[in-house]
Amino acid sequence: MVSPLLLILTFAASLGSTTSPLKLREKLYLLAVGYYRSGDYSRSRELVEDCLKIEPEWRQAQSLKKAIEDRIKKDGMIGIGIATAAVGVVAGGIAAALARRK
C-alpha cells in the first residue's frame, strides 16, 4: 500500500505544471483535503486559502476552511486543558511536599 504522504507529495509536485486556474484551484483543494486528513492543519489552511484567492466564492473550499479552523480551535482547547492539568499536578505535588515538611 502506498503511503498517503507519498501520494500528497507526488500530487504537490504536479502543481508547477498546471497552467489553468481552474485546474490549479482543484489541485490546491485536493492537496488541502489530503493535508487535513493527515492532520497537517496549518498546511491545509494555507492551501485552501490559496485556493480561495483563485475562487473566493467556492463554497466547497469555504466549508473546508471552516472545518480546518474548527479543528485548530478544538486542538488548541485540548492543548490548553492538558497544560492546565499539568500545572495542577505540579502545584499539587509542591503543596504536598510543603505539607510534609511541616
pLDDT tens digit string along 82-92? 666 666 666 66
Would you give the DSSP letter of residue 57?
Answer: T
Higher-scoring residue by pLDDT: 52, 76: 52
Residue 79: predicted pLDDT: 58
Residue among 56, 3, 61, 57 nearest 27 (CA): 61
Angle between helix axes 59-101 and 21-38 (nearest 10 degrees) is: 30
Q: Which residue has the cell 500530487?
A: 11
Tracing cell 485552501 back to the chain, one arrives at 48
More confident residue, 2 or 55: 55
Measured between alpha carbons, how far is 14 from 91 in angstroms, rounded to an integer?
Answer: 53
Assess whether pLDDT exceeds 90 at residue 77. Answer: no
For 40, the grid coordinates are 497537517
Q: The domain 4-101 belongs to what CATH superfamily?
A: Tetratricopeptide repeat domain (1.25.40.10)
Whether the pLDDT of residue 78 is over 60: the answer is no
Cell numbers placing 79:
492543548
Count of beta carbons in the 10 Å neighbourhood of residue 92: 10
pLDDT (tens digit, 9 = 90+) per residue, 18-68?
A: 778 888 899 999 999 999 999 999 999 999 999 999 999 999 999 999 999
The length of the chain in residues reads 102
CB half-sphere exposure, 57, CA atoms < 13 A: 0
Quick one: pLDDT band at residue 17, thresholds 50, 70, 90?
confident
